[in-house]
Structures are given as structure tokens and as C-alpha cells.
Chain A
Amino acid sequence: MEAFFQQLLNGLSLGAIYALIALGYTMVYGVLRFINFAHADVFMSGAFIGYYAAQRLPPGTVWGGLAVLGAAMLGCALIGMLIERLAYRPLRGAPTLNVLITAIGVSLLMEYSGQLFFGATPRTFPAVFPTKQFSLGGLAISSNQLLVIAAALALVAALQLIIHRTRIGTAMRAVAQNPRAAQLMGVNNSRVIAFTFGLGSALAGAGGILYALNYPSIDPLMGVSPGLKAFTAAILGGIGNIPGAALGGLLLGTVETFVSGSALSTYKDAIAFTILLTILFFRPAGLLGRATAEKV
């Protein structure tokens, strides 16, 4: 029983990170109907921004940690908007396949220029927040795990507020549903799309820091695997659906953690993806996605 709760806690804290990244995939899909493969590398950039910001800040303090988190979120928001402006906006109106291939190109560009600038050797991410180990009823809990879950919850709550209670958030939902109608309301769709990239990338930046706190070895290719998992989580929850992305992330992280804690740990990815395929077999639009006919 203890082992179960221990794994559940581990799984949820991993899943919370997947959820943060998955939100960016799903939001961009919502407004532009394509998968921004470079999103995983924005996540990686967040970890590196944090790494350099931490060198100027006292380690192991709450405000220093929050400053690192804030720097990564802000830096990633700018990177995300820059990618959109330079790579995707010129392709507005082009077939989705072209945009998708461009996204793969941007992703590779970021990964290999990362290797050029930062080197391929992994670096140790500093403990920017104070760390503590608790023991609660036989459970070993690290403060970082709680931090990940608390930060993810706070960020998802803030995101929900932005999307449902603000003018730009309502515009985001309107653009996602019908970009032409949104234009006819006076919405500058380009601005809303840029904002969506900024918002999603900020969450990925936060995800990068939280991931690096729990797996403190960072390198320019570190985004590939969590990025793929988060993309999967977004599909699992129903691509374009925001609560779905959060749910998919938590589910995938938990399943992966339980499998890796079992005798079948070698097959953790295989089993996680088998579960995914099984769910999609029965619910092709994802857990919370609605099966809708493609509009012409």
C-alpha cells in the first residue's frame, strides 16, 4: 500500500510536468491546427535559461527559485513568440503539412544549435529552491515533488482564469472555433496567435525548470523524450482540449511511473504507449475530445 502511494506521488509529479508541456501543444493546435514540434525544445530552452539565471542568484532560496522560474517562463514566452513570428507566420494559409515540416525543422535547428552553443555534455542543474525530505506515514516525499505539483496546479488555475475570464482568453477560444468569424468581430488573429504561443511557451518554460529540479541533468536534447510524452498526453486528452491535456499528462505520467516501478520496467514506454493506443481505439477523439466532423 505504501509503495502504491509512493508511486502515485512520483507519477503525479512527473505527470504534472507532462501536463504543463501538453497544454502548449494543445493550445497551439487549437488556434492553428498543427503540432508545434519545436515546443519540446522551448521546454529545453527553459531549463537552460534557468541554469544561467541561477548563476546570478543565491541557491536554495524561495525567492531565488521563483526568480529562476519567472526568468524561464518569460524567456520561453519570448522564444515561442519569436518562433511563431519568424517560422510559422509567413506560412499562414499554406497547407498544414508545410507548417508541420517547418516545425520539425525548427525543432532540429534548436536542438543542434543548442549542442553548438552549450555542448552536448549534460550539465548539472543547481538546486535553486530549498530542498527538504519529509517522511509521512512511510512515504518519502521530497519538497521538489510537492513544489512541482503545487506549481503545476497554480499555473493551470491561472491559465483557466486567463482563458475563461479575460478578453484575450475569450478571443483565443473564438479564434480556435472559427478564425474567420473572430476576424469579423474585430479580432486581430495574428496577435491572438502570438499570445497563444507566448502563453504555451511560458508553461513549457516552467515545465523545463520543474523537470530539471527533479532530474537535474540538462542537455540540448533533453526535450525530445518529455516532449513526445507530452504530445502523446495532449492527444490522449483530446487535442485542442485544455482540461484534456492536463488530464492526459497526469495519466501518462502516473502509468509510466507505475510500470517503471514494476518488474516490467524495461518496457515502460512500450506499455505506456500500448495503453494510449488502446484508449484511442475506443475513444478516437481522446478522453475529453469531442468527435466532430471536420469543417470545410
Chain B
Amino acid sequence: MPAAHDSSSAAAAATEILRVEDLHVSYGAISALNGISLSVPAGAIVTLIGGNGAGKTTTLHSLSGLIRAARGRVHFAGEDITALAPHHIVARGLCHVPEGRMIFANLSVAENLAMGAYLQRSPAQIAAARDYCFSIFPRLRERLRQNAGTLSGGEQQMLAIARALMSRPKFLMLDEPSLGIAPRLISTIFEKIVEINRDHGTGILLVEQNARLALEISTHAYVLETGHIVMSGPSRELRNNAQLKAAYLGS
């Protein structure tokens, strides 16, 4: 394997799938994001870490169109998607697994998956996506007729990810997939995230408070603090960064 692709910025720009430029978001008078910029190469896992209230969730909400940006641009797969409605953004292959999972608790697991495939028209592709979901989360197949609200926290997270996969995304944004999940399931979920990325080359933007895990599976990381990117670089380097260690990784 040649190591030439390692970090030539020109090559990275050519294969970049998501680019955020100078994004500002505010809730009324309170500004939540003060001009953040980031770039995700196609097929990579990139993580956005930071403490509570740093603006991680706000970033994802504005990328998926749930909140309007006051200023700045979002480019996805070569298109400016800043002003698009959420359902148009999903249609372009950018899918957001929200914090707290937000599964449809009164719908069955099968119906939740069907909702994930809402914009898919081809029955064959829907069936293939479902089979893929069952291959990575076999437990969902057993619970197909059950109401999603009866699943455990870990199973609900699996369902939330599977539901997103049903839209056959080019790119997934995961918001705190480890939140409120039994510790032994957290590593499973993270393994599956890597598997999804590897199987389909699905790009992933992972938002996490568990910085140690996030830095382990990602290639690049951004650190967000009070609406600013304060640090970024290859995850390998950030893992050993003294400042970051003190703030997010414990010593």
C-alpha cells in the first residue's frame, strides 16, 4: 500500500463528501455556534467531541436542516444544502441518528424500519437494506413485531441506527450513540459503526462525549468548545495530546 494518500490536502479536497464553512447558529439571542468549519473525506469516520453544551448536537441539527443556520454554508456531495428542508437533505443521502434515539415507541420494530425506508421506492433495495440491518443487528429480527418502546436502551440504539441505514445513506451522523446504554453494549455498538463504515464506505460523523472511544475508531477529530472548534487533527495525534487528555480523557 502506498502511503502517498496520507494527508495531501488537495487529494482530500477532491474526495471530500461534507464541508462546513463558518457555520453560525443561534437560539434567539443566545448563539450556539460561532463560525465552525469542518471537512469530512468520503468514506472516513470523523468525530466531533466536546463537553455538554459545546454545540455538538446543534451542529448536527443544522447539518440535517432541523435548525436554520444564521450564517455559513454546508456542502454535501458537491451541493450546497444549507437552505434545504430536512426531507430533501435525507433524500440526498445524509442521514442523522438523533440524540436520545427518537425511535417511534408506539410503532413496531418493522414499522420503524419501514419509516427509515420512507423515501425508498424499490422493494428489492428495501429488502436488501433490511437484510443488511438484520445481519449486523440480528436481535432486531427477533423483535420485529414488538413495539419499539419495549426494547432495551441498547436495542433501541441499534434500531435507531438500522432505521437510518434503511434510507441507504451515503453519510451517517450519529449523535451520542453510547448515551444511556449498558456498558457492555457500548463496545458492540461501536464495532458495528466501524463495520457499517467498512461494508459500504458510508462516511460517518460521530458526536460523542466518550472521547476515548470516539478517538479510537475515527481517523480525524474536531474538538468543540462553546461553539468554537478549538482543536482538530488526526485522532491518533489527539489521543496523545496532553491538553485534550486533561480535559476529556481523564488522566
Residues of chain A touching chain B, judged by Cβ–Cβ distance below 8 Å, are 167, 170-171, 173-174, 177-178, 180-189
Contact = CB atoms under 8 A, between A and B. Distances in A.
B107 A170 contact: yes
Does more than half of chain B's interface fall in helix, strand or loop, or is it mixed?
A: loop
B114 A170 contact: yes
A185 B118 CA distance: 6
B91 interface: yes
B87 A174 contact: no
19 contacts: A170-B115, A171-B118, A173-B106, A174-B115, A178-B104, A180-B102, A181-B98, A181-B102, A181-B104, A183-B66, A183-B85, A183-B86, A184-B66, A184-B95, A185-B90, A185-B116, A186-B87, A186-B90, A186-B119
Contacts of A184: 64, 66, 86, 90, 95-96, 98, 102
A174 B107 contact: yes
Contacts of B155: none
Interface in B180-211: none
A170 B111 contact: yes
B106 A185 contact: no
Nearest to B66: A180
B63 to A, nearest CB: 11
A170 B118 CA distance: 10
Nearest to A190: B85
A187 B118 contact: yes
B104 A177 contact: yes
B247 interface: no
B163 interface: yes
B103 interface: yes
A184 B64 CA distance: 8
Nearest to B148: A177
Contacts of B107: 170, 173-174, 177
Contacts of A177: 104-107
Contacts of A183: 65-66, 85-87
Contacts of B103: 181
A188 B84 CA distance: 12
Given A173-B106, A173-B111, A187-B118, 10 more contacts: A171-B115, A177-B105, A180-B66, A180-B98, A183-B65, A183-B86, A185-B167, A186-B91, A186-B118, A186-B119
Contacts of A187: 87, 115, 118
B128 to A, nearest CB: 18
Contacts of B119: 185-186
Contacts of B66: 180, 183-184
A250 B106 CA distance: 25
A188 B119 CA distance: 10
Interface string B75-114: 0000000000111001100011010001111110001001
Interface string B42-55: 00000000000000
A162 B118 CA distance: 16
A71 to B, nearest CB: 33
Contacts of B116: 185
Interface string B108-149: 000100111011000000000000000000000000000000
A163 to B, nearest CB: 11
* Most B CB within 10 A of own CB, among A171, A174, A184: A184
B92 to A, nearest CB: 10
B87 A188 contact: yes
B105 A185 contact: no
A15 to B, nearest CB: 26
B120 to A, nearest CB: 9
Given A167-B118, A170-B111, A174-B115, A188 B85 contact: yes
Contacts of B104: 173-174, 177-178, 181
A187 B114 CA distance: 12
List of 5 A-B pairs having minimum Cβ-Cβ separation, nearest first: A186-B90, A181-B102, A186-B119, A183-B86, A186-B87
A54 B96 CA distance: 52
Nearest to A180: B66
B13 to A, nearest CB: 28
A6 B221 CA distance: 75
A185 B115 contact: yes
A149 to B, nearest CB: 29
A173 to B, nearest CB: 6
